[in-house]
């Protein structure tokens, strides 16, 4: 396959990129996820009659892993572009049903191409012709690929001019995530500020909600990606590995992953972008079929307790909300600076509290 150039649209659902793929002349919705291998549901596996090959290991963002069956997909079509004999993991999270998504198009399928994502146009270009993308090699960051699934990892510069390998994961809807281990390794270099600490869980991976644990809120004064300076980048630590940037990066420029020539680009008219943001005293999550207080920062004091049910926000009831409703709508606190929240304690007692979004110091 040579001299190809394909531009396809994607649907953005809360930071997840959903595209159309065709298997055996049938259209399916797949998640476009550069931080995962290609996967398909058992329903699709049975529909295309894919033969089982072996067992493969799957790791999620929370450090959990399990063995899953693998198959080879004979032909995956994106428009008029075909990919042949692509290995794929069988199995996708149950919550993919909320988006009517039947699989993941991952980096092992993309590793011989150049991929450009434009969030303003909501399009993805897949090509082998770099000259058609008007890229400036002087404004690129070095790119390496994970040895197993070819996840893209670029080198970003920090405030002390040291480099930090960051994987680009479009399956993650956030901006920056950092593992506890990486935080410890970077402590001596003073490239970040530790803003506050908390306890709880707020991150859902391939195998479900992470375990409750201690968290740290950090701020990187500067992260430079190929000449574009992101200033005041906030991140919450996790139990995964390394550092990764998610699809929120697309809000700040056009991203190009040149798997072929090993370059990563962030194109923006602004060379310095302040991404500082305020923080709520707690973060909600969905657990045991309820919307609950997931992660509590120390600034919350005794106002909330991790695990309490959130039953109402500014007059909107969430007492009987389901996961699909939450995934297909904007986050419950998005666009707000303050809110009145009704909580239900473990004993069933209701109380109202007022919370405000602030810059922690």
All domains of the chain, ordered by start, with CATH? Answer: 5-127 (2.40.70.10), 138-249+264-274 (2.40.70.10), 282-356 (2.30.42)
Average pLDDT of 105-117? 96
For residue 291, give the nearest of 340, 334, 341 by alpha carbon.
Answer: 341
For residues 124 and 137, the answer to whether their CB atoms sit within 8 Å is: no
Residue 60's pLDDT is: 47
CA angle 338, 294, 12 (to 5 degrees): 75
Confidence of residue 200 (pLDDT cuts 50, 70, 90): confident
Helix (H) or strand (E) holding 108: helix 107-110
Residues forming beta bridges with residue 54, ordered by sequence position? 70
Q: What would the mean pLDDT of 48-72 be, rounded to a whole number?
A: 68
Mean pLDDT, rounded, of the chain: 91
Q: pLDDT band at 258, cuts 50/70/90?
A: very high
Residue 53 confidence (pLDDT): 66
What pLDDT digit, counting tens, does each position of 307-343 carry? Answer: 999 999 999 999 999 999 999 988 999 999 999 999 9
* 64: confidence class by pLDDT, cuts 50, 70, 90: low
The whole-number pLDDT of residue 359 equals 87
Lowest-confidence region among 103-107, 132-136, 308-312, 338-342: 132-136
- Tell me how far apart the alpha carbons of residues 180 and 167 are, in angstroms, rounded to a whole number: 16
**58 confidence band (pLDDT: 50, 70, 90):** low
Of 234, 255, 257, nearest in space to 178 by CA: 234
pLDDT tens digits, residue range 273-297?
999 999 999 999 998 899 999 999 9
Examine the pLDDT at 19 and tell me if it is beyond 50: yes
Query: Rounded mean pLDDT of 124-153?
Result: 93
With tokens 């969430």, the residue in question is 318
Question: What are 322's strand-pairing partners?
Answer: none
| Residue 264, pLDDT score | 98
- Give me the phi and psi of 189, to 5 degrees please: -85, -10
* DSSP per-residue codes, 136-148: -GGGEEEEEE-TT
pLDDT at 208 over 90: no
pLDDT at 205 over 90: no
Taking the C-alpha atoms of residue 361 and residue 358, their distance in angstroms, rounded to an integer, is: 9
Alpha-carbon distance of 132 to 121, in angstroms, equals 17
Residue 84 in contact with residue 222, Cβ under 8 Å? Answer: no
Residue 348: pLDDT above 80? yes
Residue 65 pLDDT: 60
Among 38-52, 130-144, 250-264, the minimum mean pLDDT is found in 38-52
| Range of lowest pLDDT (6-20, 32-46, 197-211) | 197-211
**More reliable by pLDDT, 258 or 58:** 258
Model confidence at 62: pLDDT above 90: no
As a whole number of angstroms, the distance between CA 126 and CA 116 comes to: 7
In Å, how far are 88, 128, 161 from 58, measured between CA atoms?
A: 11, 29, 34
Provide the Cα torsion 300, 306, 307, 313; round to 10°: 10
Contacts of 216 (CB under 8 A, 6+ apart): 180, 183, 194, 195, 196, 197, 198, 236, 237
Question: Residue 232 — φ and ψ, nearest 5°?
Answer: 60, 55
Q: Six-digit token pair at 180?
A: 């506890």
Residue 239 — very low, low, confident or very high, per pLDDT cuts 50/70/90? confident
User: Tokens 């040579």 map to which residue?
Assistant: 2
pLDDT higher than 70, residue 59:
no
């Amino acid at each position: 396959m040579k001299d190809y150039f394909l531009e396809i649209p994607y649907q953005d659902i809360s930071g997840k990129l959903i595209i159309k793929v065709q298997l055996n002349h049938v259209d399916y919705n797949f998640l476009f996820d550069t931080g995962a291998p290609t996967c398909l549901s058992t329903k699709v596996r049975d529909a295309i009659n894919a033969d089982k090959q072996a067992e493969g290991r799957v790791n999620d963002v929370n450090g959990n892993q399990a063995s899953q069956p693998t198959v080879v997909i004979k032909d995956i079509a994106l428009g008029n572009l075909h990919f042949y004999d692509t290995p794929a993991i069988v199995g996708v999270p149950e919550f993919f049903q909320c988006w009517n998504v039947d699989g993941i198009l991952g980096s092992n399928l993309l590793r011989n191409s150049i991929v450009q994502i434009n969030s303003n146009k909501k399009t993805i270009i897949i090509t082998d012709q770099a000259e058609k993308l008007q890229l400036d090699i002087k404004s690129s960051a070095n790119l390496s690929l994970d040895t197993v699934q070819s996840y893209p990892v670029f080198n970003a510069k920090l405030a002390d001019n040291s480099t930090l390998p960051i994987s680009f994961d479009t399956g993650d809807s956030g901006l920056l995530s950092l593992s506890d281990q990486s935080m410890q390794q970077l402590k001596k270099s003073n490239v970040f500020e530790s803003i506050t600490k908390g306890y709880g869980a707020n991150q859902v991976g391939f195998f479900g909600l992470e375990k409750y644990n201690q968290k740290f809120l950090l701020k990187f004064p500067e992260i430079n990606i190929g000449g574009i300076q992101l200033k005041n980048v906030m991140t919450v630590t996790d139990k995964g590995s390394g550092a990764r940037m998610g699809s929120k990066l697309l809000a700040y420029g056009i991203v190009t992953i040149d798997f072929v020539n090993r370059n990563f680009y962030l194109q923006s008219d602004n060379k310095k972008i302040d991404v500082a943001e305020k923080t709520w005293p707690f973060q909600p999550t969905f657990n045991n079929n309820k919307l609950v207080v997931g992660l509590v920062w120390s600034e919350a004091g005794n106002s909330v307790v991790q695990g309490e049910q959130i039953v109402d926000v500014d007059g909107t009831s969430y007492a009987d909300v389901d996961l699909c409703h939450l995934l297909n709508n904007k986050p419950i606190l998005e666009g707000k600076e303050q809110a009145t929240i009704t909580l239900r304690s473990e004993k069933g007692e209701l109380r109202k509290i007022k919370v405000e979004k602030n810059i922690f110091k």
